[in-house]
Amino acid sequence: MVKSLKREAFSWIDKNSDKLIEISDSIWEYAEIGLKEYKSSRLLASTLGDHGFEVKLGIAGMPTAFIASWGEGTPVIGIMGEYDALPGLSQKMVPWKEPLIEGGAGHGCGHNIHGTSGIGGAIAVKTVIEKYGLKGTIRFYGTPAEENFSGKVYMVRDGYFDDVDIVISHHPGTMNAVTLKSSLAINSAKFIFYGKASHAGAAPEEGRSALDAVELMNIGVNYLREHIIQDARIHYVIERGGSQPNIVPDYARSWYYIRAPEREQVEFIYNWVVDIAKAAAMMTRTKLEIQFLEGIYNLIPNRTIAEVIVNNMREIGPPKYTEDELEFSRSIAKTISRESKIRALQKSGRPGWEKLIDKLIDDEIPDPWGEGNISHGSTDVADVSWKAPTVEFSTAAWVLGTPAHSWQSTAQSVGITAHKALLFASKTLAATAIDFLVNQELLEKAKEEHKKRLKGRIYKSPIPPDHKPPIDIWEK
């Protein structure tokens, strides 16, 4: 019975593959930054609406966030999709660095594929529920601004994941894989200093340099690095530092990320950074404003869901390519040094990574790995994972060794490998959702594992109840 349900879902995806590819490519062309994904979110939401989903657009204070549901009752199976691009990564589909729009945004993390694979899987499951009269609800979460402002955290805070039973998600990458690694929790904040302008040559004593405050803060934080745990990360940029040298800067601004393996560790380091910023303001007699942007938890993995995903990936089988289809991929691979590729594979921690050194594209599906290890990136998927059993898997849209957030990943997020990875992921999402939709015992196993991994810890939103998404931040 389950196999016939999955075949039905796969059939819908195959019949609608051209439309899904068209949607993904359109979002790639839109390349809209976080919280500004107006065209992208509406395209995804309207497609779901056209297929009978009940759509709620503009939730959790974000115009580009939405939920689309089909079905009744439990279990409620959630599928997530992202669609934000990255600033400065505009890129043509060519195997050399050449932006479509100079300084423009680009899908250097493949979120055009991410959002589309999600709706493909969700609609395919809807057709199965409808045809076979199954009990349960399939729900798609349109989640904006993963790259910078963590839209999912606002959705979690406002209760949109409170009644979901499990959540699955897909992210394009270089491997067909699911890991059991955790991730780093994070705080993101801007530190704004207000001073007093004066003529830097004629009357410097009348000025109070906001740039001095930024630099003193940075020096203090750099000395702090010696006293934080090894897996923590602190990084920053100076966004504003003055206009020209003969004017004492009366305004300066830095933007910080503070990361650590556990939420409590982030809070400890962040509070120390805040104290350093206050001290810098005192030393320079400037005024300090702190603009808290986002906070994220660490990821709670789930082996039960991960193994179901891997089993489905293996049953479906990874994409196959003709030699002609791989011509572009080979050209991209030439821009990635062998040393960089080896470092990326080694860093993945994948067992047997050495066998992949001379491969162009990953054509294997390994067992889940990484239990007890930490990925040093951060994701707002983590906050969802504290509310319900949650797993995000990857499919090979890019050649092995491709760095994320690069012109190479942007160039590859449209084209043959991207399209086949998208359809493979849609089928995997659909098959996994069906497994948990019809198998109560499997669902309870995932929930019980989730409960054990939480160890009684309670999620408390890292963003205050009155904190609103920074919709207009790009204009500041």
| Mean pLDDT, residues 162-169 taken together | 98
pLDDT of amino acid 471 = 85
The answer as to whether 16 is a domain residue is: yes
Select from 340, 351, 359, 355 the least CA-distant residue to 400.
359
Instruction: Indicate whether 412 and 443 sit together in one domain.
Output: yes
Model's pTM, two decimal places? 0.94
Q: Are residues 197 and 164 part of one domain?
A: no
Average pLDDT of the residues in 284-311: 97
What's the CATH number where 189 sits? 3.30.70.360
pLDDT band of residue 475 (cuts 50, 70, 90) is low
Mean pLDDT of 111-131: 98
Tens of pLDDT, residues 375-400: 998 999 999 999 999 999 999 999 99
Query: Which of 251, 275, 296 is the endpoint of a domain?
Result: 296
More confident residue, 465 or 196: 196
Statement to judge: residues 280 and 370 lie in one domain: no
Residue 126 has pLDDT above 90, yes or no: yes
pLDDT in tens, 71-99: 999 999 999 999 999 999 999 999 999 99
Buried b (16+ CB within 10 A) or exposed e, 139-167: bbbbbbbbbbbbbbbbbbbbebbeebbbb
Domain-located, residue 466: no
Taking 60 as the threshold, does the pLDDT of residue 476 lie above it? no
Q: Is 135 left (phi over 0), alpha (psi -120 to 50) or beta?
A: beta
The arithmetic mean of pLDDT across residues 169-197, rounded, is 97
pLDDT digits (tens, 9 = 90+) for 329-370: 999 999 999 999 999 999 999 999 999 999 999 999 999 999
282 pLDDT exceeds 80?
yes
Are 41 and 124 part of one and the same domain?
A: yes
Closest-CA residue to 58 (of 128, 151, 121, 138): 151
Domain range for 90: 2-182+298-454
Q: Classify residue 218: in a domain, yes or no.
A: yes
- Per-residue pLDDT of 199-258, as tens digits, reads 999 999 999 999 999 999 999 999 999 999 999 999 999 999 999 999 999 999 999 999
Identify whether 476 is part of a domain: no
Quick one: CA torsion of 301, 118, 3, 173, rounded to 10 degrees? Answer: -60
Which string of DSSP letters, residue by residue, matches 203-221? -GGG-B-HHHHHHHHHHHH
In a domain, 416, yes or no: yes
Q: How confident is the model at residue 1 (pLDDT cuts 50, 70, 90)?
A: confident
In this prediction, residue 474 carries a pLDDT of 63
Q: Does a structural domain hold residue 471? A: no
The CATH number for 100's domain is 3.40.630.10
* Whole-number pLDDT of residue 432: 98
Instruction: Provide the greatest CA pair distance for the chain.
Output: 85
Q: Domains in the chain: how many in total?
A: 2
Same domain? For 310 and 204 the reply is no
What average pLDDT does range 271-289 have in this prediction? 98
pLDDT at position 15: 98
| 467 within a domain of the structure (yes/no) | no
Q: What's residue 148's pLDDT?
A: 86
Residue 167 bridge partners (DSSP): 78, 390
